[in-house]
Structures are given as C-alpha cells and as structure tokens.
Amino acid sequence: MGETIAPHGGILVNRILEGKEREEWLSRAATFPSWTASPVTRADLICIATGIYSPLSGFLREEDYLAVRDTMRLASGTVWSIPVTLPVPRELAGEVAGSSYVALREEKGTILAVVKVESLYQVDVKEEAKQVFRTTDTEHPGVARLYQQSSLYLGGEIWLLNRPDQGEFAEYYFDPVQTRAIFREKGWRRVVGFQTRNPVHRAHEYIQKAALETVDGLFLNPLVGATKADDIPADVRMKSYNVILENYYPKERVFFAAFPAAMRYAGPREAILHAISRQNYGCTHFIVGRDHAGVGDYYGTYDAQKIFDNFTSEELGITPLFFEHSFYCKKCSGMASYKTCPHSSEHHVILSGTKVRKMLHAGETPPPEFSRPEVVRVLIEGLREKSMAQ
C-alpha cells in the first residue's frame, strides 16, 4: 500500500456537518442574517469544508488576510498565497455586525453553510489588487471581480450543511480524503497533479507524460468552478478530457477528477494555491508550465515557476515540476521544447489559447500537431451545440 504525503499544515480539514448536529445547525441557521453566495464563494465553501484548502477552516480573519496579502503567509507563518475571503453585502453590514453567525444560501434558497462572525473588516481593494494580481487594471478579470464586490470582509470558521449543487459533474467530484484513499489503494507513492482550465492539447499531453515517466500516477484535475466568459465551457472541456484519456493514456496510471475551485487568474500566486490544493488531494508533485493561471500579458511567461523560489521545500511540501513551453517541431518530427529542440521557430507549430478558441468557435480545425483530432471534434461539436441553444 502506498503512503500519501501529509496535508499542507499537517491536518486535513473537515468542516462538513452531518446527522443530528447538522439538523440542529440548519434549524438555528434559519434565524441568522443570510445572503446568496456568489459562484466564487460557493466554490470556496467546498474547498474549505472538504480540506482542499487545508489548513484553512474558514474565511480569512483580518490578521491572516493582511499577512497573506503582503507576505504570502498566514499570520502563523504557514505558506498561503491567495486571500480566501467573504465579502459582506453593504446593506447587511449592520445586521452582520450584531450577529454571532451568518448563513450562506444557494440561489434557490437552500442553506449551504454557516459562518462564525469572528472578524469584520474593511479592506483596500486597490492594494489587494496590486499585491495579489500585480495590477490594478480593471481589464484583468480577477481585478474586475474584486472591484465589483463589497470591500467589507467577514472572517471566521465555517460549517458546511449542504453541498452546492454539483450538477452534471457530480460523478467527477472526489474529496481529498477519497483521493488519498484511492492513491493508497493503487499503491501510488509518487503522484503528479495537473491543473487546467483549458482542453488538453498536445503540449499538455507531452509534459504530463514526461512527468508520468518519473512517478507512479497522474492526477488529472481540471478546474470546473467559475471562469471568465470566453474560456471553453466546463461541460465541453470535460468531454474532451474523457476522449483524450480514453484514446491516449494508460487507464491504470491516471486518475481523473474535477477541481471545484474558481479561477482567480492570479498567475504566480495562484500557482502556489493550485500546488497546495493538489498536495491536500495527496499529490507529491505538481506540474507548472508556462504562464500558469495567467491571463493577458500581466505576468511573465515563467513567473509562476520563479515564485516557488520564495519558499523552502519543507514549508511547501509538494514538489513542483517546471516545464518549458512545448510544441510540435516539424524538423524533429515530434513534440519538443526550447530545452530539447535546436530548430528555429519557423518549424514549430504554436498557437495561442485565444487563437485556438477563435478557431474552435468558428468551427475551424487546429492542425493535428497542435491537438488530437478526437479532442477537436468534441470541442467543435460542443461549442456548436452551445451556440445553437442560445
């Protein structure tokens, strides 16, 4: 049986209430100030409650928020790179300030969770944007979202009473306690995690398989939480992952599960969060490629790799695997990277994510050197169905 890596911070958090205790809290929660949780907050609730965001047991209190914003550490010194916060609707500020707990609801009214009111604080959103996103430009989707929400934050422990509706992805959700058990059963001691919000193209496949040469198993863990409007929809992407796994990967060496987090597009800082999350799932290694979690030109191509230099291997726990930009080289007649290919760019098949999305939406097929034909078919058909349904 394999041994799994320790969770970040040493303890796998579980904030899910069940049985009689859950019933009691549901009854009490009906009397608390409440509001409808945003898609980002719903994703954060799941990630905190199931231990994906261990060691967090709730939304950041002011002391932790400031430490994370300015030093990429919790007040305790534990590495944490992204503020996980709960904005309070302005109109409820007084009511929340006078209460011990609040309740968060789903859009249809179901109570999802209760939050203890431990810290209520005003933040400087421009300073948060500058530190976390390295820009105050409202064209950045993470900054735009930050500016649109309330600047009054509530920090405190959470208890999850009902899981948000998992919809069509329910079969792909596994909590860290489950993935760790699965890795142990498979005898995987070394597991590499891969994060993506895009379809898997040939370059992704190349670096995943290069990593798989050195470990026992690959944890393909695509993000299905909130993304920006022009990203490929999650349901279409999930079909594309299944197709490529079915045709091009060894089934006994890959485990496929959905990552419920929302995208922040925080580039380097988000790469750290993504690595910590996969450590909590039980991964020992994590792939960091070019422009991880980036958007536009806000971050340098390899900034998401350089940020790992700020932390020791002991305090981070999981081992990052850094890969150069990969591509198909016509002269090499195969996949390569700038580390391994001696030929000039005229021989390289490289397409930007933006260019590929435009081609797919237009029903155009990217070259087979860029993406597997089976994957392209799924994407074009899926996007066509989406546009016809609108």
| Residue 247: other Cβ atoms inside 10 A | 11
Distance CA 270, CA 264 (A): 7
**Ordered strands of the 334-337 beta sheet:** 334-337, 326-329, 348-349
Q: Residue 296's closest CA among 174, 95, 169, 137?
A: 137
Of the candidates 197, 202, 269, 290, the residue annotated as catalytic is 197
| Residue 98: other Cβ atoms inside 10 A | 9
For residue 85 the two structure tokens come to 């916060």
Distance CA 390, CA 387 (A): 5
Strands 285-288 and 254-256: unpaired
Distance CA 196, CA 241 (A): 10
Of the candidates 14, 162, 198, 242, the residue annotated as catalytic is 198
Distance CA 130, CA 135 (A): 5
Distance CA 246, CA 205 (A): 13
C-beta of residue 129 within 8 angstroms of C-beta of residue 93: no
**Would residue 197 show up in a list of annotated catalytic residues for this protein?**
yes
Using DSSP, state whether 121 is helix, strand or coil.
strand
As annotated, the active-site residues are 197-198
